[in-house]
């Protein structure tokens, strides 16, 4: 049946969303979120996760067409469900405080848990904090941040890799010895840490799982994106000394020191669990 679906990307009036065929292959009505209960959950409400999202919607492909993207809802919200179950709240940031761009075409419409946490944090997604203001104020906050979370979606490649403010936040997180959590295309945002001085990139020698460049090279053929990618984040990370462990997507996750990564939406549940467990020291 899926073979009969169109592989032509769907025009949204400005750019293109994935084709019906692509959605049939990669967008699910319900996730595998497993409602894990965490013993010894955090009870200190001052301890929070700093979530860095994109505020940019459209990625211009090599052919000039625009891909309608943002942060992937499954890769954003399923890990948040686990982290919330482990007792942690969130402060959501974008570079300037503009609304978070979410790939709503990928929303699992029959998943009540995912829809519930989106509604719970809707005001923060619509009116997030400003990363620029956070940095300008000396990285001071009323919250004690125990981790930085970089959700996936191709939107993680927009605005974040070249952000000087995110550069400062990443280096601050390393100095503070707190966890960095990044899933799918989320590790693209780690490139910000090489801005100005690639020799000081803190994740040289680390191993990660993430969405492979090889698959990004294949997705135009099925209309997931409307043209060839403008650039590939994996090769840039590898040049900085990062080893990407996976060549395909299987739901693989990996922890290397204080860096937790997952390869795709398939990894969202296990990535959330792994993140929650390391933060709880279990």
The catalytic site residues sit at 184
Distance CA 262, CA 280 (A): 19
What gap in Å lies between CA 233 and CA 216, rounded to an integer?
10
* Beta strand ranges found along 87-193 (DSSP E): 89-94, 129-130, 144-150, 179-183
Nearest to 11 by CA among 70, 69, 68: 68
Among the listed residues 234, 243, 190, the one whose alpha carbon sits nearest the alpha carbon of residue 212: 234
| Rounded Cα–Cα distance for residues 273 and 253 (Å) | 10
Structure letter (DSSP) for residue 219: G
Give the Cα-Cα-Cα angle 193, 99, 60 (nearest 5 degrees): 65
């Amino acid at each position: 049946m899926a073979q009969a679906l169109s592989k032509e990307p769907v025009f949204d009036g400005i750019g293109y969303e994935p084709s019906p065929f692509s959605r049939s292959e990669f967008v699910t009505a319900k996730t595998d979120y497993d409602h894990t209960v965490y013993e010894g959950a955090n009870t200190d409400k001052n301890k929070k996760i700093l979530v860095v999202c994109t505020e940019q919607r459209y990625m211009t492909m090599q052919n000039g067409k625009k891909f309608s993207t943002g942060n992937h809802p499954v890769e954003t919200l399923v890990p948040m469900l686990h982290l919330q179950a482990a007792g942690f709240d969130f402060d959501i940031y974008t570079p300037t405080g503009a609304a978070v761009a979410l790939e709503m075409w990928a929303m699992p419409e029959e998943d009540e848990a995912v829809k519930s946490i989106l509604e719970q944090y809707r005001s923060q997604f619509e009116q997030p904090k400003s990363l620029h203001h956070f940095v300008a104020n000396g990285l001071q906050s009323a919250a004690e941040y125990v981790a930085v979370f970089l959700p996936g979606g191709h939107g993680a490649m927009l605005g974040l890799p070249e952000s000087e403010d995110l550069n400062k936040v990443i280096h601050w997180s390393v100095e503070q010895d707190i966890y960095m959590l990044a899933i799918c295309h989320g590790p693209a945002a780690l490139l910000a840490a090489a801005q100005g001085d690639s020799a000081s990139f803190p994740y040289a020698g680390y191993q990660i799982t993430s969405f492979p460049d090889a698959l990004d090279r294949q997705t135009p053929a099925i209309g997931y994106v409307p043209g060839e990618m403008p650039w590939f984040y994996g090769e840039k990370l590898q040049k900085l000394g990062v080893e990407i462990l996976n060549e395909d997507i299987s739901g693989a996750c990996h922890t290397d020191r204080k860096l937790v990564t997952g390869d795709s939406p398939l990894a969202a549940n296990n990535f959330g669990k792994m993140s929650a467990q390391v933060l709880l020291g279990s």
